[in-house]
Amino acid sequence: MNVSREIKVGLLAVGALLMLYFGFNFLKGSDFFSSTKKYTVTYSSIDGLTTSNPVRINGLTVGQVKSIEILQNQNNRLLVTLELEKDIRVTQGTRAVLGDDGLLGGKVIQLAIKSGTPVLDDGGQLIAAKEKGLTTLVREKTIPVLDNVDSLTYQLNKIVKQFDQTGIVLNKTLTSADAALGTLDLTIAENRAGLQATLANVNRLSASLIETERKLNPILAKTDNLIDSLQGLQLKQTLASVNRTVGNLQGILANIEKGEGSIGKLNTDASFYRNVNATTMSLERLLRDFRENPKRYVHFSLFGRKNKKLPGETDTLFIATPAELIITTPATKADSTQ
């Protein structure tokens, strides 16, 4: 029987597709030549779990994730079907713990077999559980650190802003200091000659002080000798002389208090005090008039001509005082010659 070329091509294509399908599933871990058992577990979140992720017991791979279905009528929970080897005895109460598979972020389901319980039938429901993987732990530890870093960054930004303000003030201060130094340099340059002269004077003064000290040393030595000599005098006689002097001074003061003598009358007699005061005032007015009008009292002429009197001027000056003191000036030489 002859088979057409088209039928041969179709059979070859079907065979190729079957080989591709079974080969792909074999590479994913499906074993078509051994029987398996299937179990289901429901998670609220699978955190990136995909089909073909391994199922392990104490680190040994005993199966894989067969399928994942979403249960929209149960708040979008996820139904995961696990395919295990037929020799694995899964008991009731076994937990399917979803966790991380290494540092790369893959997922794995670890089976925690509960001992002492009956064997779970094929297609039974496992208890869902999750462990805190490395990513979760890092997230839990990192978030507080990041919060602290944010707070620290905020504080550092405030400090940096304060440093900016401080830098502005410091720049102004340095600018003012530079200007002050420039002014000081200019002042020193302008007064350099005066400063040098002042320093020279200070040096001369120091030399003079040294010379004065040299000259004072003999004088101080003589003063010491004089003090020693004074200490050798008879102190009793000196005190007696001082007592006599004090007694005489006390007698004088007693006479003054009694009103004896001019000083006593000045102290006790008010009229005497007023007369002396009036005389002093009259003398002061006379001296003032003498300074202001000296020609009234003194006249000098090379030609002998009589000096004309000022309007209202007389030869006699009357000064009224409480004591009615009258001072008369003599005629001038010009009048006598006339």
DSSP category for residue 296 = G
Query: According to the model, what pLDDT value does residue 101 have?
Result: 80
Query: According to the model, what pLDDT value does residue 185 have?
Result: 80
Query: According to the model, what pLDDT value does residue 54 have?
Result: 93
Dihedral pair phi/psi, residue 302, rounded to 5°: -75, -25
Mean pLDDT by 10 residues, the chain (338 residues): 77 89 71 75 90 91 92 92 90 91 80 90 90 66 76 80 78 85 81 82 87 83 74 67 83 75 68 80 87 73 50 46 40 39
Query: According to the model, what pLDDT value does residue 333 have?
Result: 39
Query: According to the model, what pLDDT value does residue 2 have?
Result: 67
Q: Which helix (H) or strand (E) holds 111?
A: strand 106-112
Give residue for tokens 């039928």. Answer: 7
Q: pLDDT tens digits for 305-314? A: 454 554 554 4
CB count, 10 Å around CB of 74? 11
Name the residue ranges covered by the structural domains of the chain: 1-32, 34-131, 134-190, 269-337
Query: According to the model, what pLDDT value does residue 269 have?
Result: 67
Query: According to the model, what pLDDT value does residue 55 have?
Result: 93
* Buried b or exposed e, range 228-254, using 16+ CB within 10 angstroms: eeeeeeeeeeeeeeeeeeeeeeeeeee
Distance of CA 111 to the CA centre of its chain: 65
User: In angstroms, what CA-CA distances link 296 with 56, 304, 310, 314, 324?
Assistant: 146, 16, 9, 8, 22
d(CA 273, CA 263): 10
User: In angstroms, what CA-CA distances link 95 with 48, 56, 91?
Assistant: 19, 12, 10
Give the CA angle between residues 296, 300, 304 to the nearest 5°.
115
d(CA 178, CA 186): 12
Query: According to the model, what pLDDT value does residue 32 have?
Result: 57
CB count, 10 Å around CB of 283? 14
User: In angstroms, what CA-CA distances link 7 with 4, 21, 22, 77?
Assistant: 6, 21, 23, 48
Query: According to the model, what pLDDT value does residue 140 have?
Result: 67
Query: According to the model, what pLDDT value does residue 141 have?
Result: 72
d(CA 89, CA 112): 12
d(CA 109, CA 53): 8
DSSP category for residue 320 = -
